[in-house]
Structure 1
Amino acid sequence: MSNAKAYSAASATSPLASDTIERRDLTEQDVQIEILFCGVCHSDLHMVRNEWSVAPTVYPIVPGHEIVGRITQVGSAVTKFKPGDLAGVGCMVDSDGTCPQCKAGLEQFCPNMTLTYNSPDKHLDGVTYGGYSDSIVVDQRFVLRVPSNLDLAGVAPLLCAGITTYSPLRHHGVTKGKKVGVVGLGGLGHMGVKFAHALGAHVIVFTTSPDKKEDALRLGADEVVVSRNLDEMQQHVNSFDFILDTVAANHDINAYLNLLRLDGNITLVGAPPKPLEVAAFSLIMGRRNLSGSNIGGIAETQEMLDFCGEHNITADVEVIPIQQVNEAYDRLLKSDVKYRFSIDMASLKSE
């Protein structure tokens, strides 16, 4: 076992603060990663504050599942990586490998998946600790290769926000000639716009904020619709092949269902706190589909990273030192960031 510097929270009301945690010794299949950057995901905030009853938080908690770093050591049976390689770790660090989902490359739906943090740790007595730390040890099966041409601070959020938006776009066949909508222009939405544009689709952003139009166009949108403007919405009825809904607040899903063409699909990746009311006729009249999506499997996440390398895609980030993470959480609640925070973990060295 070895010690690692980290930031943890001791309770739902405690701020994140400097801590020392234990990392396991390498097994023959493990790699050790020096963490260079870790993205801040909204789910980090929810977990730190124990706001999800379906996944009660075990304290102390070390969050962080958007990890980019450099491999410093490998186990004796590791074949995929060597010391010095750039590597990424996303939302999961293990699965059973035997269930139908794992065999299909859909580890994110494994009933025995191990999350990167706050998940029972089969190697140590306790739960897994995440990327708000200077190092991590992970099974090579759950480590990703990071393209060397990309800015590492902007790569970190790809491991969650990136794959969360890339996966449904690919699954539902978004390509050149498709008309695609992106609802919301936040941490998820801005990645959805970049990916849909790079895939060749005609991209339309839906936002409640007219002042986001210029930025949406900069990110790759072809058009911007202010969703509160009924005339603008009406112009697009029955016309979309696919809509990616990234909004985590309560909203009228039927307004977007009615924009889908025959057999069109709208996929939820945002998670509103209350159930959305769906009008049956919004689905029936166009044989429309309402679905959801959750990150992606390891192979698809690697595909996404390679795609980003080819198209020079990263998240738009504000880089912060770890000492500002509590302030970042407060700003996250106010949507006061364009579009993700990325923690420079070199700042931990001063702790």
Structure 2
Amino acid sequence: MTHTVDVVVIGGGQAGLAAGYHLRRKKLDFVILDAQDEPGGAWRHTWDSLHLFSPAAFSSLPGRLMPAQSGEEYPDAHHVVGYLADYDQRYDLPVHRPVRVDSVRRDGHRLRVETDSGAWSARAVVSATGTWWRPFIPAVPGRSTFAGRQLHTTGYRSPEAFAGQRVVVVGGGNSGAQIAADLALADDVDLTWVTQRPPRYLADDIDGRALFDAATARRRALDEGTGDTGGVGSLGDIVAVPPVRTARDAGLLKAEPMFTRLTADGVIWADGTTAAAAAVIWSTGFRPALAHLAPLALRSRQGHIATEGTRAIGEPRLHLLGYGDWTGPASATLIGAGRPAREAAAEITALLS
């Protein structure tokens, strides 16, 4: 059976819900297809100590301020999951879950969305699957010979799983720094933190509010042709959230340069220095989860889809939300999801009318 609607939104995380809010305001007939069996998106799968970079009031989706979390300046992931579940219910968004989308194909004047529970025919599609589901691990020599445990950021939960072990954390971004701090502050974990370049901490008083402003200013400057301000990257790589600041100031976050290869029992650097390890945690980033769009043949060699705003240049019936700055300033954050979603809903409304 094929269901027919105006718009299909693929993904029920923060970007998909923001899209649903604005599509509802435009009075369009739409559905949100979410592969997860419960609300919360990727926030349901993060490590235990993860907190937002910004206070609750500056971490909200459109139309509904996130309430403050008692005793926490920066809410934790569990609080975010509860907020997203409440948001879903408050606006009575038509979320279908669990529904896994297999492909999106052109079908005459419409787009056909194939899923594991039937097909949907839509006049427009919003892809909001994010990046969490496509972790990236670099092809470092020796990975297949390492006898210990290897996992990505997506598989890390807490230091307890590594009690009494030597652990190497790879990555100089926020995830790498936060997981390294989590392990460094544990009494019974021997940590080695490895980064491609020396860690670049943002000033201690900078949080997600400033990052959103920086990303927005960069996008505006590029659009107006006044030059590249550098955006968030010009400020640094690591937000000094309280646990990172504590570990750093205690001298527990000494970063080593990137090793050249893994061995059976650890890692080795170019000068022959070695470090034993029972586990390697790869905090090495993500790639856009876009496999469902492969039949549209829109991706470049760099893995992105060329867009104008959120609209795919090669398929004007497709919009992309939440994949990073290339789909809107800070669009992969809670505070940054709303504006691109509003713009996408406006463009879709114009297209359908």
The verdict on a shared fold, with TM-score over 0.5 as the criterion, is no
How does the TM-score come out when normalised to structure 1?
Answer: 0.32
Q: TM-score, normalised by structure 2?
A: 0.32
The structure whose Rg is larger is: 2
Between 1 and 2, higher relative CO (CA 8 Å, sep ≥ 6) is seen in: 2
